Structure 1
Amino acid sequence: STAGLFPSSRDPPATETSAPSAILDDPYVVTKLQAHEVVVKAMHSGLPVTIVAPSAVFGPRDTNQLGRSLALLVRRRLPLLPSGFGLNTWVHAADVAEGHVLAATVGRPGEMYFLGDRVLSMYDFLGAAAREAGVRPPRGRVPMGLVRFVARFSEWRAGRAGRTPLLSRSALAFSKLDVVVDASKARRELGWNPKPFEERMKDTMAWYVETYARGDAPMPVKRGGASAGAPARRA
């Protein structure tokens, strides 16, 4: 599953007993909720299932919008950010992988586990990334309405090229939400112990600097993705 189905603030954060919701009319969010509901129903019928719900994942080799943002950051081509970002719970991909293994081996059937570590806004996350990369963080702010207009054009252009848009309206809408989760259950029951955020960020940005600091290195692009701005209606 995904922690994105459980938007919540710091006070209180979401726990595994919180109710999921598709707060955005977006294909990714809606289908994630549908899949979550199918699995929970089967679980209540006796299927031995353990659910893992990672939060905001970062790390090397990311071809999504976060990966492109980090690549632009190390090239000093990310001076501005949209205004209005919410808080998120960040976790490294390697720690998510470890959490999946632990859930499969020692997790209790019929239970769900959040995997999340450091709570930061996107501004603070990119600030930490910039420090490790030795570049200036994005300091300028652009009104969200203007960025949504740019995102609409990005979706149109990506649709013609058969690529995932560099910027999407749904991603912007999601970025405004607070997604703060309490992962203490995974730590307590699974023995999940993610490495320090600072260490993970240092390793991540070392990879991005090595890979994308050169101006001739191709930017990360996920090909063949559906436009993230298309609406999705639940049946």
Structure 2
Amino acid sequence: MSDQESKHAVDKTKPVLVTGASGFVGSHTARLLTEQGRKVRVLLRKSSNTRALDGLPVDIHYGDVLDPQSLRDAMGGCATVFYSVVDPRFWLTDTKPLYRNNVDGLVNAMDVALELGVERFIFTSTMGTLGVNPNGPVTEDIPFNWLDKAPPYIRARLEAENVFLKYCAEKKLPGVALCVANTYGPQDYQPTPHGKMVWDMSCGRVKAALDAGAPTVDIRDVAEAAVAAEEKGRLGERYIIANEYISNRDFYTLAAAEGGQPPPKIIPMWVGYIAATVIESILKLLRKKDYLVRKDAVYLSEVFREMDHSKATRDLDWHPRPVAQTVKDAVAWYQANESILDSSGH
């Protein structure tokens, strides 16, 4: 076994740090760790919405991954860092923040982790860094092969993962990367854009979807994978954390049914591309910035296909729950918390 694959037991009496803990992945990771009796610190900005962490026995440290000293203060004495910071704003006209937040912040955190002798660094990456495979399921071994079509958001996330793997290989950062699919499930306080689509379908507010599809994963299973990676993950490796591929037709039919709504109408992809092209052209002529309707978004809605998570099953003993259960639990949670979510402006 190579040095990168060798493992030693993490000292679980020490605290752990969860960055990005106000987000969907980070909050669920913090939640699971506290349920297991771990001492959990979270790094938050002063402006972060902490609703997803309310009631959890966590030690809050305020700071920013772009501020190395705040990272030192939060990370000191920790055994493990669960790094879940991500800037997902693919719609930004000025893409510099995507690189600053997704790449520079990660580099700062890795440098501090090496400086302080952190035992594990679990990095939440994305399925967007994986190569495409027209002949079968995607595995971790397929190199990235669609750079010519990748929008700036994907390029930034790819650069972040590449830097992470380089730190593992060359600087011996004891890290494990998780390539996470689209996340769904309960406690979606933001809510995430794709989670809100499930909620809207279940309420009948949205009645149509593109004829696309994607791998999905339950947010609780992502947290399970992160915690398992701390103990069982092979250092310097990445793991696909994705459940089965499902079409929008089938996925949103499940969501609609949970809310007693009829199945959605399905819009052909060519219609989506034409509409996005026309709208994007008009917005550019009007010199608008940071708009959501764009061809990139349509393309990304269908680029990800079947993914093979057998490596995570083998190494991490990871067994994701059925997607139907995820949708059922997500809709039930949205329904139970609708007044809270509506009052927050969503």
Q: Under TM normalisation by the shorter chain, which class is it?
A: 0.7 to 0.9
Aligned pair partner of 1:125 in 233, 251, 261: 251
CA gap 1:25/1:198 in 2 versus in 1, 3 angstroms: closer
Hey, what's the Cα distance between the residues in 1 that align with 2:281 and 2:338?
25
* Contact 1:90/1:118 (<8 A) preserved: yes
Secondary structure class of the residue paired with 1:112: strand
User: What is the TM-score with the length of structure 2 in the denominator?
Assistant: 0.54
Q: What residue number does 1:39 align with?
A: 164
Hey, what's the Cα distance between the residues in 2 that align with 1:94 and 1:14?
22
Hey, what's the Cα distance between the residues in 1 that align with 2:345 and 2:199?
7
Q: What residue number does 1:94 align with?
A: 220
Hey, what's the Cα distance between the residues in 1 that align with 2:336 and 2:279?
29
Aligned pair partner of 1:19 in 143, 146, 163: 143
Hey, what's the Cα distance between the residues in 2 that align with 1:213 and 1:81?
25
Q: What residue number does 1:233 align with?
A: none
CA gap 1:151/1:187 in 2 versus in 1, 3 angstroms: farther
Q: What residue number does 1:224 align with?
A: none
> Aligned letter for 1:40?
L
Matches within 5 A, 1:176-215: 176-212=302-338
Aligned pair partner of 1:113 in 235, 239, 250: 239
Matches within 5 A, 1:114-193: 114-141=240-267, 143-149=271-277, 152=280, 167-193=293-319
- Bigger radius of gyration among the two: 2
Secondary structure class of the residue paired with 1:195: coil
* Contact 1:2/1:55 (<8 A) preserved: yes
* Contact 1:154/1:166 (<8 A) preserved: no
Hey, what's the Cα distance between the residues in 2 that align with 1:11 and 1:213?
46
> Aligned letter for 2:127?
A
Superposed displacement of residue 88, structure 1: 1.8
* Contact 2:181/2:217 (<8 A) preserved: yes
* Contact 1:56/1:91 (<8 A) preserved: yes
* Contact 1:7/1:177 (<8 A) preserved: no
RMSD after superposition: 3.0
Superposed displacement of residue 182, structure 1: 0.5
* Contact 1:71/1:208 (<8 A) preserved: yes
Hey, what's the Cα distance between the residues in 1 that align with 2:160 and 2:281?
30
Gaps of 5+ in 1: 221-235
Secondary structure class of the residue paired with 1:113: strand
Identity %, equivalent residues: 27
Q: Is 1:29 paired with 2:154?
A: yes
Aligned pair partner of 1:78 in 206, 209, 234: 206
Superposed displacement of residue 10, structure 1: 7.5
CA gap 1:140/1:47 in 2 versus in 1, 3 angstroms: closer
> Aligned letter for 1:6?
L
Hey, what's the Cα distance between the residues in 2 that align with 1:155 and 1:102?
45
**Mean alpha-carbon deviation: is it higher for 63-72 or for 30-39?**
63-72
Superposed displacement of residue 28, structure 1: 1.7
CA gap 1:205/1:7 in 2 versus in 1, 3 angstroms: farther
Hey, what's the Cα distance between the residues in 2 that align with 1:65 and 1:144?
18
* Contact 1:212/1:219 (<8 A) preserved: no
Hey, what's the Cα distance between the residues in 2 that align with 1:59 and 1:185?
23
Q: What residue number does 1:69 align with?
A: 197
* Contact 2:132/2:144 (<8 A) preserved: no
Secondary structure class of the residue paired with 2:331: helix
Spell out, residue by residue over 1:91-142, the C-alpha distance to the aligned partner (whole angstroms, 9 max, x if none).
Answer: 0111011101111121111221111112111222111212222211212425
* Contact 1:9/1:178 (<8 A) preserved: no
Gaps of 5+ in 2: 1-124
Spell out, residue by residue over 1:184-203, the C-alpha distance to the aligned partner (whole angstroms, 9 max, x if none).
Answer: 11111111122232222211
* Corresponding residue pairs, total: 214
Superposed displacement of residue 70, structure 1: 1.9
Spell out, residue by residue over 1:130-165, the C-alpha distance to the aligned partner (whole angstroms, 9 max, x if none).
Answer: 2222211212425113431476389789x77xxx75
User: What is the TM-score with the length of structure 1 in the denominator?
Assistant: 0.77
Hey, what's the Cα distance between the residues in 1 that align with 2:155 and 2:336?
37
* Contact 2:249/2:266 (<8 A) preserved: no
